[in-house]
Amino acid sequence: MASFALDPEQLKWCAQVREWAAERLRPLAEAGEPGRVNRPLLTALGELGLLDRLFSGTALDLCLLRESLARECTEAETALALQGLGAHALLGSPDLAGRWIPRVVSGEAVAAFALTEPGAGSDAAALELAAEPAPSGGGWRLTGEKCWISNAPDADLYTLFARTTPGAGARGVTAFAVPADRPGLGGERLDMLSPHPIGRVSFDAVAVGEADVIGEVDRGFRVAMTTLNRFRPSVGAFAVGMAQAALDAATAHAASRTAFGAPLKDLQSVSHGLAEMATRTEAARLLVYAAAEAYDAGSPGTARSSAMAKLFATETAQFAVDTAVQIHGARALERGHLLEHLYREVRAPRIYEGATEVQRSIIAKELFA
């Protein structure tokens, strides 16, 4: 445990982020419309310099940032994370990065990561969005659909993945950076359990050229996996932040609420539940920090450590929030209660950026490598 202890400066910075989240970001989040991109919130994240950390900081910095935001304002955490996920791949293309990254870190431009399709979720290599050669020569035309895309359809830029070589599996996919105002690009919002914006994006012969390619033609699957590997440990950090928020709420409630003539905390069933929440949350936190440090050091086995962190932290957050709801009782299910909000937030991370089952497959494969 000592090898992953935070130093005083890191602890001070985390406290500062939580203060910003509670005092400046949460009011903006509460004023926003659920299911829609909150541009004032993004602007504030940019003014505080937090969006810049997505691209200039280490993986551990990103984890500390996401955990700290999640403890106080999940909407701010998610808005920040989606900017990083949607734009991080652009760093591999200097021209695209120069054109878009400054606008992303200021909060002016909203980015989205468009990989999932109706028939290609966990099996991302099976995607079918077609990038066919343009009839006039030079460039491609995109035809098809992306689904369950965060920040869609309000994004200004989509980092998307399309099939340039039919029948080639993962080897025939190319990554593109596509502005949302391209003719033929449309979309609609999806009404989901999670409160952040998610939608469907459609492509009707949308023109893209060589200048829109991220990396190399037919090597886009590597771009997708590199992005996911970068952000996977920090999904665990988001989950740890939610688990800690649930634990804090449950602990405070158990200390103040009286039942059967005594505080709830004196009931063994309640105190043991809190102890289990605390233990699992701390274990998840250490797995996340270890995975981030391994990524930053370029250590072998980062795929396994990242998968373990994402798997254990997201499952732990689900357990912690559910246990906290049980300790609170019916009041936790009232619309607007912190735990009601967390209950809706906590489910999605077990699916996106590689479902729990995918993480187990990665870990199992690494065991026999």
Helix H segments across the chain?
8-20, 26-31, 39-47, 53-56, 59-72, 74-87, 94-105, 220-256, 268-297, 302-328, 338-345, 356-367
Backbone angles phi, psi at 221, to 5 degrees: -65, -35
- Please state which of the ranges 134-148, 172-186, 271-285 shows the lowest mean pLDDT: 134-148
| 302 in Cβ contact with 294 (< 8 Å) | yes
pLDDT tens for each residue of 26-59: 999 999 998 899 999 999 999 999 999 999 989 9
Q: Which of 340, 353, 357, 366 is catalytic?
A: 353
CATH code given to domain 222-367: 1.20.140.10
Q: CATH 1.10.540.10 occupies which residues in the chain? A: 2-105
Write the DSSP symbol of residue 21: I
| 242 in Cβ contact with 197 (< 8 Å) | no
Distances from the Cα of 221 to the Cαs of 1, 265, 310, 359, in angstroms?
Answer: 36, 50, 20, 18
Q: Report the alpha-carbon distance of residue 123 to residue 59 in Å, rounded.
A: 26
Residue 76, Cβ density class (10 Å: 0-12 exposed, 13-18 middle, ≥19 buried): buried
SS3 at position 281: helix
Q: Is 353 a catalytic residue?
A: yes
Q: Report the alpha-carbon distance of residue 210 to residue 323 in Å, rounded.
A: 51
Q: For residue 4, what pLDDT is reported?
A: 66
Q: CATH 2.40.110.10 occupies which residues in the chain? A: 111-218
Q: For residue 121, what pLDDT is reported?
A: 77
pLDDT tens for each residue of 233-275: 999 999 999 999 999 999 999 999 988 888 899 999 999 999 9
User: What is the fold of 111-218?
Assistant: Butyryl-CoA Dehydrogenase, subunit A; domain 2 (2.40.110)
Task: Report percent pLDDT > 70 for the chain.
Answer: 99
Element (H, E) at 175: strand 173-179
Which pTM value belongs to this model? 0.94
Cross-strand partners of 206: 142
Q: Quick one: pLDDT band at residue 2, thresholds 50, 70, 90?
A: very low
User: What is the fold of 2-105?
Assistant: Butyryl-Coa Dehydrogenase, subunit A; domain 1 (1.10.540)
Cβ of 124: how many Cβ atoms within 10 Å? 19
Q: Report the alpha-carbon distance of residue 14 to residue 366 in Å, rounded.
A: 33
